[in-house]
Amino acid sequence: MDIGIIGAGAVGLLFAGYLGKRHDVTVYARRKEQREQLEARGVTVWREGSKEQTDVGAKSLSSLDSHHDLVILAVKGYDLEESLFITVPTDTPLLFIQNGIGHMDFLKTLPHDTVMAASVEHGALKENDYTVLHKGVGVTNIALVRGVPVPLQRLMKEEDEAFPFEEEEDYETMLLRKLFINAVINPLTAIAGCVNGEMMSNPHYNALIREVYGELLHLYPRMEAVISLEDIESICLNTAQNRSSMLADVENGRKTEVESILGEIIRKASPVDVPVIHTLYLLVKGKESTGRQT
């Protein structure tokens, strides 16, 4: 397939590195310096002590090609609408890989024939403009919002064993499951400044995991059958040395995805009170504000 990837952060580079081995991939990046590096060096993926380089194309957002078989939106949730100011033809299938649920309503407003959403369970850390560390092999779950799943079927047919895809029937349940994981792990690690494993080894942090999970379950009781507290704790243990994307954003003075994760939960919860989640939201916003001023 001919695939366009909008966004060249950790996840965008990870997708480009793996998909570029089997497909014709063009990465759309904002900065000229990064585009030049990608054109010259391709994408380097480090996994388990070995590296693999994949050639990709690189262009600016204003130069989006109209011939792609699939366009993957790998930008943060708060950049989605700006990314789509460029004209993506309505017959081009779109795949969204954002955290949180802030983009769910936005997807329904798009005029495109085929829209898909994904939940990415890989660990990825961007090392530089063209290098990404694959910190944990997981799976990319994809569900159809509307349209036909032809691009997904082609991705699954030609998948890499270290970068598998799975089809989900219900995109809302899929995104809510990832929301539970993000809402528990990301804010707590960002505030505490710790790796995922400390959420289990520190009894005080572990108590907060239980508090947040309880508030989420109060809002979405049906999700207890989909993701348990034990599931989330297992994820913390299995990704013990990983640093969450929200922690990385805070440490680097970048805007976080707290609005599309905790902010959206708070807005949808009203008038139900979620005091622990609201407190975590304010703490992350405080860190975000302080970091971006320095």
| Sheet arrangement for strand 43-47 | 50-54, 43-47, 131-136, 123-128
Q: Which residue has the tokens 């707590």?
A: 188
Residue 285 falls in the annotated catalytic set: no
Phi-psi region of 164 (alpha: psi -120 to 50; beta: other; left: phi over 0): beta
What are the φ/ψ torsions at residue 159 (nearest 5 degrees)?
Answer: -75, 155
Q: Which residue has the tokens 């999700």?
A: 223
108 bridge partner residues: none
Give the gyration radius of the chain's Cα atoms: 18
Kindly name the residue from 51, 178, 268, 285 that is annotated as catalytic.
178
Q: Which residue has the tokens 């082609």?
A: 154
Strand pairing report for 131-136 and 123-128: antiparallel
Residues classed as catalytic? 178
